[in-house]
Chains A and B, each alone.
Chain A
Amino acid sequence: MATMAKPLSDRDEPRRPNIASADVQLPAVKDYEQVDREISATLHPTVAWFIGLGVAVFFLLVGISAWMYQIYSGLGVAGYNPPVMWGVYIITFVFWVGIGHAGTLISAILYLFRAGFRTTIYRCAEAMTVFAVMTAGLFPILHLGRPWKFFWLIPYPNWRYIWPQFKSPLVWDVFAILTYLTVSSTFLYIGLIPDIAVLRDREKNPVRRRILGVLSLGWRNSDREWRHFARAYLFLAAFSTPLVLSVHSVVSFDFAMALTPGWHTTIFPPYFVAGAIFSGIGMVFTIIIPLRKFFGLKHYVTINHLDAAAKLCLFTSLVVGCAYMTEWFVAWFSGNEFEKTFFANRIWGQWWWASAILYTCNMVLPLTLFKQSWRRNPTWLFILSFFINLGMWFERFVIVVPSLSHEFEPWQWASYSPTWVDYAILAGSFGWFSMWFLLFIKQLPVIAIAEVKEIIPPRLRTTHDHGIDSSGRHLEFEPSTPGEDA
């Protein structure tokens, strides 16, 4: 909730630094009506949007076709080769769960830390979270030989009144993912209610107005509603914060609870969580940079916001890099021959190229973000985000495949190569995710209208010669300054 402090005198006025900070300023956004007008203008469909949706649906159909072929022919067409019975599907499952982490990090954790740069990007990140978790949730079903029995995955006494084993990481996984999907969807919807009310009040079409009226639950923007809303939002953020950390920890238990070399390690939970946040921020860049360009929102998602997000990306890259080096150190220091052999195989063995992609994309390329001019370059951030997505997919590949194909006994060793069915379903998952996201951005606001209004100086009866920000500080810039570089 914003506040209006007494303006500082000019003598106390701090210099505005040319670096990203938590102090958000949107100098090109003048008043509340401008926010409503510009953000609701993004909801009109364009030719480019229809083309994008068509491409997404095409890839989805490719994935669905491959899945139907797999159901008809059996799971053998997916390229599994004993003992490598986890492949592209589990890799992509972990990949999408990881993508889903940045959304709640940005919307909940950064909210609790009062990091101002989240305001204009969190709605996109939250929607990304929900759709990424929806995508991830498909993969356990795709991995079933008889997918019509998918409801057996839900923990209930489904066979002779026997309940599932609550000591099993796979059962924890089901609860963690379903809880995360429920809570993140709820968080997204609650944040959307005041914005849907804005759309309802601007809507001229009676049918759409009626639908938006139902979706906004009759929200009236009264002080009573805002008071309870602010409190509920804070508590939801407080619940979501440990949930973010727990979900990928639980996903990591799927591996760490097994005795397989390369998996059985206590570093996995923090390592997975840091990797998930890193990959999620990469995907946020992939989405938000084209959005701000095509929707004309550069004065909302400013260079300062991208700069601050890039610092977070750099930090998580360093944490992930530290985790990689710790893994090598532990393997060497443990004196365990299996671990040492496994890690040597990971770097110099059959899958050396996958490890090389992983380390280059996740450890080396993000180091460019130490330089401010690279952090403030949206083109570079967009290109880098693709490398991060690629590197994080290969991180999961390096965790899953080399461990299963190179276990304790040499007679167990095997190879693995994904088939066209794997690749088609992987492409289909991107189509599924993109389709939902593209539909979302044309139905609901991609930037939180009510929260952006909080950081705009309110209209006052007592006028000032120049602007005053939400904390009461005088602003140096002229009112006509374009806001993109702020």
Chain B
Amino acid sequence: MSGVIGAFRELDSVVYAVEELKEKRIGEVTVYTPTPRHEIEHAVNAGPSPVRRFTLFGGLFGATCGYWIAVWTSDYWPLVVGGKPVASWVPYTIFGFEVMVLFGALSTVAGLFIASRVPKLRMTVGYDPRFSSGDYGVWVACPPERYSEAQSVLREHGAVEVRDEQ
């Protein structure tokens, strides 16, 4: 992967730089930011997160499993007490609810890891430790022939450091 990285001190500079980079279609833009900001999210304009689907299916699967285990184990050793049903859904709702929450929460975390591509086992090209502290980074993945164009956009909007990396 090759491209250009620009380090910024100010939020508004980042937003303007990202907007222009996307307008000129220089390459795929990734923004490194110490804290999530809506301005950057709007500028990047990515689609909705798929994590919600993991949550939904995990929760539904958990609720199904919870009820199923309780009902199956009751029928496995059917002992009628007081003429009441062997498998009684009312108390099993507690069990179904707890398993729904457990599976839903864990599948949400799995969705986060898959969608964010973590854990990352290798170094990320362009990442700088200062991006977790106070500075913002804008990485433009582009071929070498477009480096100069990307660098000029980043500098024009106030990048304090610009360099190309491979």
The secondary structure that dominates the A interface is helix
- Asked if A183 contacts B10 (CB within 8 A), the reply is no
Which A-B residue pairs are the 5 nearest by beta carbons? A218-B120, A201-B129, A163-B73, A32-B134, A232-B112
List 16 additional A-B contacts (Cβ < 8 Å) besides A220-B124, A222-B32, A223-B41: A3-B38, A4-B12, A166-B91, A186-B106, A187-B105, A190-B112, A218-B124, A220-B120, A223-B31, A226-B36, A228-B115, A232-B49, A236-B109, A239-B55, A459-B9, A460-B12
A253 to B118, alpha carbons, bound, how many Å? 40
Q: Are A197 and B120 in contact (CB under 8 A)?
A: no
A-B contact pairs, 29 of them (CB 8 A): A1-B36, A3-B38, A3-B39, A4-B37, A166-B70, A166-B73, A175-B95, A175-B98, A194-B132, A198-B34, A200-B132, A201-B129, A202-B129, A217-B120, A223-B40, A223-B46, A224-B117, A227-B36, A227-B41, A232-B109, A235-B104, A235-B105, A236-B109, A239-B55, A240-B105, A242-B101, A458-B10, A460-B12, A462-B12
**Residue of B at shortest CB range from A226?**
B36
Specify which chain B residues have a CB less than 8 angstroms from the CB of A198 in the assembled complex: 34, 132-133
A246 nearest CB neighbor, chain B only: B97
- Chain B residues 131 to 166 lying within 8 A of chain A, measured CB to CB, are 131-134, 158
Binary contact track B89-132/A, C-beta < 8 Å → 1, others 0 = 00110110111011011101101110111111110100101111
Contacts of A157 in B (CB 8 A): 73
Cα A243 to Cα B117 in complex, Å, equals 28
Whether A454 pairs with B36 at a CB distance below 8 angstroms is yes
A90 proximal to B (CB < 8 A): no
**In contact, A2 and B95 (Cβ under 8 angstroms):** no
Give bound CA distance, A225 to B117, whole Å: 8
Query: Does A167 belong to the interface (CB within 8 Å)?
Result: yes
What A residues does B38 contact at CB under 8 A?
A: 1-4
Min CB distance B18 to A, Å, is 9
- With beta carbons under 8 angstroms apart, the residue of A1, A36, A243 that contacts B134 is A36
Which residues of the other chain, A, contact B30 by a CB distance below 8 angstroms? 222-224
Interface residues, chain B, CB within 8 Å of chain A?
A: 9-13, 30-41, 44, 46, 49-52, 55, 59, 69-70, 73-74, 76-77, 88, 91-92, 94-95, 97-99, 101-102, 104-106, 108-109, 111-113, 115-122, 124, 127, 129-134, 158
A interface residues, Cβ below 8 angstroms from B = 1-4, 31-33, 36, 157, 162-164, 166-167, 171-172, 175-176, 179, 182-183, 186-187, 190, 193-194, 197-198, 200-202, 217-232, 235-236, 239-240, 242-243, 246, 250, 253, 450-451, 453-454, 458-462
Question: Once bound together, how far apart are the Cα atoms of A454 and B95, in whole Å?
Answer: 38
Min C-beta distance of B11 to chain A, whole Å: 4
- A240 smallest CB distance to B (angstroms): 8
CA distance A32 to B106 in the complex (A): 31
Contact of B10 among A176, A221, A225, A460 (CB under 8 A): A460
* Cβ–Cβ < 8 Å partners of A454 in chain B: 35-37
Quick check: B11 and A223 within 8 Å, CB to CB?
no
B10, closest chain A residue (CB): A461
Beta-carbon contact of A179 and B36 below 8 Å: no
Q: What is the CB-to-nearest-CB distance from A170 to chain B, in angstroms, rounded to a whole number?
A: 12
Q: Chain B residues with Cβ under 8 A from A166's Cβ?
A: 69-70, 73-74, 91-92, 95
Q: How far is the CA of A242 from the CA of B101 in the complex (A)?
A: 9
Q: Give CA–CA (A288, B19) in the complex, Å.
A: 43
Which residue of the partner chain B has the closest CB to A231? B49
Give the docked Cα–Cα distance between A392 and B127 (Å): 50
